[in-house]
C-alpha cells in the first residue's frame, strides 16, 4: 500500500504534533490536509506542512482524497466529528478521552459498531516503549499473575481555567490515561472504585468542583487492586510512573529520561527531570501514528478500540462520583471475565 493520506481535525497542541508526526512519517503516512474552525490556526499549520487548510472536517473530507483522519478537537465535539467521518466510511484516530459523558461515549461506540469504520483511540501510553515493553512482559507471565497496579501521573502546572472548566475534572482528563493503563495491564474490568481528592495548592480547581491532587482505589473483578494517583502540583517536573506487583515479581516503569548526564558536586549528585509530557511521549506519539497507519493499511483489530475508551471513561466518571459522594461506587459490568 502507498502512504496513508491523512487529514487532521483540530490543530491545537496535540493536533499540531500529530500533523507534524504524520508529515515526517515518510513512506508510511502523508499529511493531506488540516481542518480547524479557528481559520488562522488552520492556515498557519497548513502552510508549515504545505497542505490545504479547512474550517470543517466535512469539507476537508469532500475535497481531499483522504485515507484516514486524526481527530484532536475539543472532547465535546467528538461525537459530531466521528459522525461526519463515519458517514464517509473513513478510519479515525480519536484523541482521548473518548467523551465527557457515558451517553456520548455510548453514541461513539454505537456509531463505530454500526458503520464498522476503523476506530482507534489516542491513549499515548499504549505506544510508549516503556509501557509496551511492560505490557509484553506481563502478558508473557514474567511477573506471574498481576495483583496490584499503581500509577502516578503528576503535571508540573495546572491547565488554564478555561480548560479546567470543560475538562471533566482530574479523573476524566488526567487519570483516564491511568485508568486505561490499569485496565490494559490487569486484563480485568473494574468492579468497584473509591476515590477522593483535595485542592491543596490551586484554589481555582475548587471553583469547578475539581481537585489538584486525587487518588482512586480500584477493585478489579478478580479482586486484584489498583491505586491511581493524579496531581497537578508537581513543581519538580512531569512525573509519570507505573508499577505492577505480580505473584512472581514486579515491573516498574520509572521516570528516568533519555538524557543521562549527571552532575556530582559537594552538594550531591544532580539529575535533570522531564519538563513535560510532550518530551516524555515524543516517541510514543510518533509510534501511535505508525500504528494507526498499519491498522488503516492492513485492517486488523483496532489497537485501541472505542469500547476501551468507553470503559476507561466509565471508571473515570465513577471515580469522580465516588470523590463527590465520599463512598465507594460499584460498577456493573456486562461481561465480567470472572
Tell me: does residue 235 bind a copy of itself (CB under 8 A).
Answer: yes
Per-residue binding letters, 200-219, with a copy of itself (x by CB under 8 A): xx-----------x-x-x-x
Tell me: does residue 336 bind a copy of itself (CB under 8 A).
Answer: no
> Minimum CB separation from a copy of itself for residue 32, in Å?
14
Q: Are 96 and 70 in contact (CB under 8 A)?
A: no
Backbone angles phi, psi at 6, to 5 degrees: -115, 135
- Of 204, 214, 175, 177, the C-alpha closest to 323 is 214
d(CA 149, CA 217): 10
Tell me: does residue 271 bind a copy of itself (CB under 8 A).
Answer: yes
Per CB under 8 A, the list member of 62, 63, 249, 336 interacting with a copy of itself is: 249
CB nearer a copy of itself, residue 152 or residue 183: 152
Tell me: does residue 268 bind a copy of itself (CB under 8 A).
Answer: yes
Residue with cell 478537537: 73
Per-residue binding letters, 159-198, with a copy of itself (x by CB under 8 A): -----------------------------------x-x-x
CB nearer a copy of itself, residue 113 or residue 198: 198
Q: Please report how many Cα atoms fall inside a 13 Å half-sphere around the Cα of residue 223, on the Cβ side.
A: 0
d(CA 159, CA 161): 7
Q: Are 250 and 243 in contact (CB under 8 A)?
A: yes
How many residues are recorded in the chain?
Answer: 338
> Minimum CB separation from a copy of itself for residue 56, in Å?
25
Expressed in angstroms, the distance from the first to the final Cα of the chain is 41
- Of 37, 96, 83, 89, the C-alpha closest to 66 is 89
Residues contacting residue 335 through CB under 8 Å, at least 6 positions apart: 189
Q: Which three cell numbers stand for residue 87?
A: 458517514
d(CA 71, CA 247): 40
Stretch that binds a copy of itself, among 10-18, 75-83, 102-110, 249-257 (CB under 8 A): 249-257
> Minimum CB separation from a copy of itself for residue 336, in Å?
16
Tell me: does residue 264 bind a copy of itself (CB under 8 A).
Answer: yes
Tell me: does residue 143 bind a copy of itself (CB under 8 A).
Answer: yes
Contacts to a copy of itself from residues 58-117, by CB under 8 A: none
Tell me: does residue 248 bind a copy of itself (CB under 8 A).
Answer: yes
Q: Is 176 left (phi over 0), alpha (psi -120 to 50) or beta?
A: alpha
Q: Which three cell numbers stand for residue 292?
A: 494507526
> Minimum CB separation from a copy of itself for residue 267, in Å?
7
Tell me: does residue 298 bind a copy of itself (CB under 8 A).
Answer: no
Per-residue binding letters, 22-61, with a copy of itself (x by CB under 8 A): -xx-xx--------------------xx------------
Per CB under 8 A, the list member of 4, 20, 189, 288 interacting with a copy of itself is: 20
Interface size with a copy of itself, residues (CB under 8 A): 77
> Minimum CB separation from a copy of itself for residue 59, in Å?
25
Calculate Rg over the CA atoms of the chain.
Answer: 20
Amino acid at each position: 500500500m502507498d502512504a496513508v493520506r491523512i487529514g487532521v481535525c483540530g490543530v491545537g497542541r496535540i493536533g499540531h504534533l500529530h500533523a507534524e508526526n504524520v508529515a515526517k512519517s515518510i513512506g508510511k503516512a502523508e499529511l493531506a490536509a488540516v481542518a480547524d474552525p479557528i481559520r488562522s490556526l488552520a492556515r498557519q499549520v497548513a502552510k508549515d506542512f504545505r497542505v490545504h487548510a479547512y474550517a470543517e472536517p466535512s469539507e476537508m473530507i469532500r475535497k481531499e482524497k483522504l485515507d484516514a483522519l486524526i481527530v484532536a478537537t475539543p472532547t465535546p465535539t467528538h461525537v459530531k466529528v466521528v459522525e461526519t467521518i463515519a458517514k464517509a466510511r473513513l478510519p479515525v484516530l480519536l484523541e482521548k478521552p473518548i467523551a465527557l459523558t457515558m451517553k456520548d461515549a455510548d453514541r461513539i461506540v454505537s456509531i463505530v459498531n454500526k458503520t464498522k469504520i476503523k476506530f482507534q483511540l489516542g491513549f499515548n501510553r499504549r505506544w510508549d516503549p516503556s509501557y509496551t515493553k511492560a505490557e509484553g512482559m506481563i502478558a508473557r507471565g514474567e511477573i506471574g499473575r498481576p495483583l496490584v497496579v499503581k500509577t502516578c501521573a503528576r503535571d508540573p502546572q495546572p491547565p488554564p481555567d478555561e480548560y479546567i472548566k470543560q475538562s471533566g475534572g482530574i479523573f476524566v482528563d488526567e487519570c483516564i490515561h491511568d485508568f486505561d493503563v490499569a485496565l490494559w495491564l490487569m486484563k480485568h474490568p473494574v468492579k468497584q472504585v473509591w476515590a477522593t481528592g483535595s485542592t491543596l495548592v490551586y484554589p481555582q480547581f475548587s471553583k469547578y468542583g475539581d481537585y489538584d491532587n486525587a487518588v482512586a482505589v480500584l477493585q478489579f473483578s478478580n479482586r486484584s487492586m489498583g491505586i491511581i494517583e493524579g496531581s497537578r502540583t508537581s513543581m519538580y517536573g512531569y512525573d509519570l510512573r507505573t508499577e505492577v506487583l505480580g505473584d512472581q515479581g514486579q515491573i516498574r516503569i520509572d521516570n528516568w529520561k533519555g538524557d543521562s548526564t549527571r552532575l556530582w558536586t559537594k552538594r550531591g549528585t544532580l539529575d535533570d527531570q522531564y519538563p513535560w509530557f510532550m518530551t516524555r511521549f515524543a516517541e510514543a506519539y510518533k509510534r501511535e501514528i505508525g500504528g494507526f497507519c498499519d491498522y488503516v493499511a492492513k485492517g486488523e483489530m483496532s489497537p485501541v478500540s472505542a469500547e476501551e475508551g468507553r470503559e476507561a471513561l466509565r471508571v473515570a466518571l465513577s471515580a469522580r462520583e465516588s470523590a463527590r459522594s465520599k463512598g465507594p461506587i460499584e460498577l456493573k459490568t456486562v461481561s465480567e471475565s470472572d
